[in-house]
Structures are given as C-alpha cells and as structure tokens.
Amino acid sequence: MIERNLIYAPNKQLLLNPNNIGLDFEDVRINTSDGLSLHGWYIPGPNKLTLVWFHGNSGNISTRLDLIGDVRKNLGYNIFIFDYRGYGLSSGDTSEEGTYSDSDAVMSYLLSSKDLDPSQTVLWGHSLGCAIATKVATKYPIRTLILQSGFTSIPAMSSHKYPFLPGIGLLTRILFKTKYDILSELGSVQVPILVIHGDQDSVVPHFMGETIFSHARSPKRFYSVKGAGHNDIHVTGGSDYYKVLYDFIENPRKT
C-alpha cells in the first residue's frame, strides 16, 4: 500500500466528459481477465487513424480533456482513452502488472469490438503511461509509438527526486515490486518511435527523454519543446507541436 501510494495518485471523480467540450463520444466498459471493470471513452474523428491514450499517474481521464480537445481539433483522429484500475470509474487497485493487464484488455476490446486495424493505430503514452504504452507496443503490430514526458524507470526517478539519499535508487529497485523500466522494453519495439520532452520539465528531467530516445530502435525522432514543462507541452509547443505530431504519424518512417 505504501509503494502504491507513493507511485499512483488516482482521482475517482470524473469532473467532465467530452460532451462538455463539444465532442461526441461513446462511454465504454471493458472487463479484464481478472474480473475488473475498466472505464473509457471512444471519441470518433473524421480521420481513419486511432490514438490509444495511456495517461500519467495522477487524476483520471476527465483531467485530460483539454489535451483531448486540442488533439481532436488539430489532428482529427479517433481517440480512445481509458482509466487504469483504481482510477476514475475503473474498479480495483492499481499496480504495475495490473496496468499491463488493463492494456491487454483494452487492445483486445479495440481489435474485436471496434475492428481496429493495428496498422492504423497509434499508441500515445504520457509520463507513467509511456512505460505502459511501450509494453503494449512490444505485443501488437501497431503503426507508431509516441512517448511524451516519459521517465526511464521508478528507481531512476527515486534517485532523481531524492539525490540527498545515497543509494535510494538501488534500494527502490530491490524493495519495490514496481519498476516501469521502459529501457528494458524498448529493444523489443519494432515500430517507429517519437519521443517528446519539454526542456523545462521539473517533474521528469529532460535527460530522461534523451536517454529513452538513445535506447530506442530506428526509425525514431526526438522533439524537444523549448520552454515546456511536464503537462503544458501542447500549449507551449502550439502549432509546431501539432505539425511534428502529424508529420510523424502520417510519415512515420521518414528520416
């Protein structure tokens, strides 16, 4: 419980839904293999591509509506976003293995119920969601993987956050079950990767984005957003941000 409370900060209350920002949506319930119920939103768009969204460690899907609205407006893709177990209206308690199981249930649902074409599917992870999206990308022949504001691992984050505690990273690696070690998974990802990081990120340092990029296989691209922090990249980056996203998603293997 202590470990879970240090890593996850879920909010159970949904503040708004896509209708509040003028978007049609489908309320979705998905059953996991261990009997839990996940909640998500499917937001259709005019473009045939679908973004599957893996959010960070705090809040829930309703706290991402500003970004959802901007992405839908600027890119026009279908969007599916869901809450991991323990977040929003999803049942259960969160864990690393649980988030991976949740993602498998989501992909199974999308591939069957939505007739999702993997070649037209983009996985988009933010912060903690980068590790989860990367894990999913090792299992499915998707189109592309976008990793925004991602950290390299939980032990590495503990070393960064508590530099005054010598050996805290090693201690975390030994004692914590939760690792979210994205670097150990990147070698198995066979699809193009776009790494995005704000150069003023005070939560996850910019060098972690650079490290993720260095471990990723080609084809890959790195986009450093000048002046951006952890959660405001879409605002700070503005139209250039969406140009980079669109170019990568539509032409992922361009060098």
The CATH number of the domain holding residue 90 is 3.40.50.1820
The amino acid sitting at 173 is R
**Angle, alpha carbons 56-80-1 (nearest 5°):** 35
- Compute the distance between CA of residue 136 and CA of residue 207 in angstroms, rounded to an integer: 24
Closest C-alpha among 190, 199, 242, 243 to residue 219: 190
pLDDT tens, 56-79? 999 999 999 999 999 999 999 999
Q: Please check whether residue 215 lies inside any domain of the structure.
A: yes
Residues in Cβ contact with 247 at an 8 Å cutoff, skipping those fewer than 6 apart:
254
Neighbours of 16 (CB within 10 A): 12
Domain count for the chain, please give it: 1
Q: Please check whether residue 255 lies inside any domain of the structure.
A: no
pLDDT of residue 5: 76
Q: Please check whether residue 211 lies inside any domain of the structure.
A: yes
| Residue in this structure with the two tokens 């503990």, named with its chain if needed | 158
Q: Please check whether residue 81 lies inside any domain of the structure.
A: yes
| Residue in this structure with the two tokens 């994205």, named with its chain if needed | 182
pLDDT of residue 142: 95
Domain residues for 60? 2-250
- Compute the distance between CA of residue 181 and CA of residue 96 in angstroms, rounded to an integer: 10
The percent of residues above 90 in pLDDT, for the chain, comes to: 83
Q: Please check whether residue 28 lies inside any domain of the structure.
A: yes
pLDDT tens, 119-173? 999 999 999 999 999 999 999 999 999 999 999 998 888 877 766 555 665 656 6
